Amino acid sequence: MAQRWPKLVLLVAVGLVVAALVAFLIIRGTGERAAEAARTPYEQPALAKTAAGAGAHPAGQWYIPAGDYASTRFSDLADINTQNVGQLKPAFTFDTGYLKGHEAAPLVVGSTMYLVTPYPNVVYALDLTKPDRPVKWSFNPHPNPKSQGIACCDVVDRGMSYDNGRLFMVTLDGQVIALDANSGAQVWRTPVADISKGETVTMAPLVAAGKVLVGDSGGELGVRGSLKALDEGSGKVVWKAYSTGPDKDVLIGPNFHPYYPSDQGKDLGVKSWPGEAWKQGGGTIWGWISYDPELHMIYYGTSNPGPWDAEDRPGDDKWTAGIFARDIDTGQARWFYQTAPHDLYDHDAINEMILLDMPVNGTMRKVLVQPGRTGFMYVIDRVTGQVLSADPYASMTAYTGVDLKTGRIQHNPAEVPQSGRVTRGICPAAPGGKDWNPSAFSPRTGLLYVPHLNLCMDHVYTGANYISGTPFLGVESKMYAGPGGYRGEMTAWDPVRRKPAWQIRENLPLWSGALATAGDVVFYGTLDGWFKAVDARSGKLLWKYRTESGIVGQPISYRGPDGRQYIAIYSGVGGWVGGLVSGGFDPRDPTAGLGIFNAVPDLAKYTGRGGRLYVFALPR
């Protein structure tokens, strides 16, 4: 026995050495292949491109928050590039004087910059020609202070639109106002919301084809959502399309051809609800509208159904939590796709839709891409409404996939909330895989830059009572960091390959928009006030700057009267998640702020309130 030991040991040792060698070779091989793949991914011919006709925007200017109708937020200025971005310095700043969430994008028209503050929605025009950028004029619309109390998630304003010498703005209490861009004089003013019913307006209006398109907020207050088109010249309402109710209210007519059978039928906006629940059914439009001038169609998403307690509204709850395509002139619906039929988690469909032309299974398709709150990256044929793909881009337990045959999202039965028992570990949480803060797309890289969240939640239904002008929720919820313990993530998504190119984890939730430039730099801000520039191809951090407060705004880029490229961003924490600091709430209550403050109880350690515009440029 004893003599056989050395032999045995030798055998084992030789075996181990051989195994290690084999393993080394295998791993090395894979690693090499992976490295190779990482080096040369985007040299392929088939890149996604900005939709033809929708990507145009005036050179070096910024007229609408999304930059262009395709919502790419892409600036073709390339002065600032990956080589020199590290030298960016603040060129000037401007204090707005208000300390709520500054979610708006500044606009630059000619040599003037236009800013709008959160409630009370004051507009400033800054003269960019003078070295100290003085205020040319300002305008205070004096909204009704009561509206502060019914705005669900801070008193934000997401921006204005410029067209044809006029600025179009909204106020929190639901007035659309046209201003003369030169003088700041009011041209017309049209109220489109009733705050006694809980309606407010926070979205940035979109001007296109002679119409000002504006929706409403208040999906948390049992509002019956609607999109209004106002005549650009007179401010008269041209058409109004509700998100619930009979077909004639929803502007569903003979031209309505939804792709999936579940959206076909008469008066589904009534029949997919119990009783008269559709009258308080939500489906507000508070996010982004894209416009395809060639197809003459607008695309927008509707918000969550009301109340949040889904047990109170059995049925599909049409036409909430879905994407509408409409004819911009008549408002008639063309197609509809419901991302979350019978929504269980406040997973609205209001996120930005980027209009692209890209190859899908070998053929070029006209698509819209939406990073959905459900956590899926939807690629939808924007002509027909067919879902071409839907891949998860955020941590996900709530859904198992999207059935491309029926278009229906597939629920994980273990994560369906109920009354009387808390359902735990729902990912994504109520703000979704990504909330309103818009992504950017660079046609140079073919990548979509998605600033998003990594939050999960515990959720329970408690039953809702409807009292006009008060919240209509019926849930208690508690959010927290998703798997990995980080709360925000910047993902560069390749829509053609249907997977991320790179990802950056952020400790705090990402609540700011993104900007991509022709210099292959991507800008975004974080809740702790850092404004960051990363390499559009690799995600490498190139530059960062600490602003006075958390960033929830939308960066833009413009060419100043002096010929230099500037980058502008609002700093001023707020919005749903940042409201914890801007509203001075109490994070000891884990359900505060509909449960989101529980995810960021430490926010006050990173940021205080603020309200300041930062403009950066390369040193002269």
Partner 1 sequence: MSSPCRASLLALVLLAGCDEQARDPRGHPLPETGPLLSAAMNPARPDPRAVDYYKNAFEVSQGQQLFQWMNCSGCHSNGGGGMGPALSDTKWRYGSSMADIVQTIANGRPNGMPSFSGKLTQAEMWQLAAYVRSLSQHVPQSIRSGRTEGLSVGEPSTLRDPHPPRAVTPKQDEASVE
Partner 2 sequence: MRKLRPLLACLALSGCHGRQVMLGAAGRDGSMFANLWLVFLIVTLVFYALVLIGLVWAILRRREGGEPATRTGLLVWVGVISVTLAGLSIASWLVDRNMNRAPFTGLTVEITGHQWWWDVRYTSADPSQTLRTSNQLHLPAGMPVRVILKSADVIHSFWIPNISGKQDLIPGRTNDIVITPEKVGLYRSQCAEYCGLEHAHMAFDVTVEPLADFEKWWAQGLLPARAPVTPLQKAGYAYVTTRECSTCHNIAGTPATGQVAPDLTHLASRLSLGAGTYPMNSGHLAAWVADPQSAKPGNKMPVIGLEPDQLNAVVSYLESLK
Partner 3 sequence: MTELDPDLARDGPELTGVELDRRLTAAWRRQPGLIGWLSTTDHKEIGKRYIVTAFVFLALAGVLGLVMRAQLARPESGLITADRYNQIFTMHGTTMMFLFAVPVMEAMAIYVIPLMLGTRNMTFARLNAFSYWMYLFGGTMLWVAFVLNTGPDAGWFSYTPLSGPEYAPGKRVDIWAQMITFTEVSGLAAAVVMATTILKQRAPGMTLAKMPIFAWSMLVVALMIIFALPAVALDSGMLLSDRLVGTHFFNPYEGGDALLWQHLFWFFGHPEVYIIFLPATGFISELVATFSRRPVFAYPAVVVSLCATGLLAFGLWVHHMFATGLPRLGFAFYTAASLTVSIPTGVQIFCWIATIWLGRPQFRVPMLWVIGFIVTFVIGGLTGVMLASVPLDLQLHDTYFVVAHFHYVLIGGAVFPLLGAVTYWFPKATGRMMSEALGKLSFAVTFVGFHLTFFPMHITGMMGMPRRVYTYPAGMGWGTLNMISSIGAAILAFGVLLFVINIILSFRAGRVAGANPWEAAGLEWATTSPPPVYNFPHLPAVASRTPLWDEGEGLPVTTGLRVDDRELLSVTIIDAIPSVREPSPKPTIWPLLSAIAIGVTFVWSIFTPWALVFGLVPSAIALTIWFWPKNPDVPPEPEID
Annotated active-site positions, please?
220, 304, 346
The count of C-alpha atoms lying within 13 angstroms of the C-alpha of 267, restricted to the half-sphere facing its C-beta, is 6
> Which residue in the set 239, 299, 441, 597 belongs to the binding site for partner 1 (CB under 8 A)?
597
Residue 400 or residue 418: which is nearer to partner 3 going by CB?
418
* 465 contacts partner 2 (rule: CB under 8 A): yes
Q: Which does 237 bind (CB under 5 to 8 A by kind): partner 2, partner 3, partner 1, none?
A: none
Residue 36 or residue 589: which is nearer to partner 1 going by CB?
589
> Which residue in the set 64, 594, 599, 600 belongs to the binding site for partner 1 (CB under 8 A)?
594
* 312 contacts partner 2 (rule: CB under 8 A): yes
Q: Which does 79 bind (CB under 5 to 8 A by kind): partner 2, partner 3, partner 1, none?
A: none
Q: What CA–CA distance (Å, rounded) separates 58 from 61?
A: 5
* 147 contacts partner 1 (rule: CB under 8 A): yes
The least distance separating partner 2 from the CB of residue 113, rounded to whole angstroms, comes to 46
* Burial class for 293, CB neighbours closer than 10 Å (0-12, 13-18, 19+): middle
Helix (H, G, I), strand (E, B) or coil at 595: helix
> Which residue in the set 227, 473, 481, 492 belongs to the binding site for partner 1 (CB under 8 A)?
473
Positions in 362-421 near partner 2 (CB under 8 A):
419-421
Q: Which does 15 bind (CB under 5 to 8 A by kind): partner 3, partner 1, partner 2, none?
A: none
Residue 464 or residue 552: which is nearer to partner 2 going by CB?
464
Residue 248 or residue 271: which is nearer to partner 2 going by CB?
271
Q: Among candidates 191, 100, 213, 188, which has minimal Cα distance to 143?
A: 191
DSSP states of 512-573 as a string?
Answer: S-EEEETTSEEEEE-TTSEEEEEETTT--EEEEEE-SB---S--EEEE-TTS-EEEEEEE--
* 162 contacts partner 2 (rule: CB under 8 A): no
Residue 424 or residue 544: which is nearer to partner 3 going by CB?
424
CA distances from 320 to 107, 167, 183, 287, 323 (A): 31, 30, 40, 13, 9
* 276 contacts partner 2 (rule: CB under 8 A): yes
* Burial class for 601, CB neighbours closer than 10 Å (0-12, 13-18, 19+): middle
* 315 contacts partner 2 (rule: CB under 8 A): yes
Query: What backbone phi and psi angles, to 5 degrees, belong to 409?
Result: -75, 145
Q: Which does 590 bind (CB under 5 to 8 A by kind): partner 3, partner 2, partner 1, none?
A: partner 1
The count of C-alpha atoms lying within 13 angstroms of the C-alpha of 134, restricted to the half-sphere facing its C-beta, is 3
Q: How are beta strands 514-517 and 74-75 bridged, if at all?
A: parallel
Stretch that binds partner 1, among 24-32, 327-335, 470-478, 491-499 (CB under 8 A): 470-478
Residue 484 or residue 584: which is nearer to partner 1 going by CB?
584
* Burial class for 11, CB neighbours closer than 10 Å (0-12, 13-18, 19+): exposed
Positions in 277-296 near partner 2 (CB under 8 A):
280
Helical (H) or strand (E) element with 116: strand 112-116
Query: In 420-526, which ranges are E strands?
Result: 423-426, 440-442, 447-453, 455-461, 475-481, 488-494, 499-506, 514-517, 521-525
Residue 127 or residue 311: which is nearer to partner 3 going by CB?
311
Q: Which does 58 bind (CB under 5 to 8 A by kind): partner 2, partner 3, partner 1, none?
A: none
Q: Among candidates 259, 234, 307, which has minimal Cα distance to 407?
A: 259
The count of C-alpha atoms lying within 13 angstroms of the C-alpha of 174, restricted to the half-sphere facing its C-beta, is 25
Task: Note the residue count of the chain.
Answer: 620
The least distance separating partner 1 from the CB of residue 283, rounded to whole angstroms, comes to 19
* 205 contacts partner 1 (rule: CB under 8 A): no
Determine contact, residues 428/482, Cβ cutoff 8 Å: yes
* 608 contacts partner 1 (rule: CB under 8 A): no
The least distance separating partner 3 from the CB of residue 466, rounded to whole angstroms, comes to 23
Location of structure tokens 């292949």: 33
Q: What CA–CA distance (Å, rounded) separates 218 from 308?
A: 12
> Which residue in the set 372, 451, 469, 482 belongs to the binding site for partner 1 (CB under 8 A)?
469
Contacts with partner 2 by CB under 8 A lie at: 270-276, 280, 312-316, 419-421, 463-468
Q: Which residues bind partner 1 (CB under 8 A)?
A: 99-100, 120, 145-153, 220, 422, 458, 460, 462, 464-465, 467, 469-473, 476-478, 579, 582-594, 597
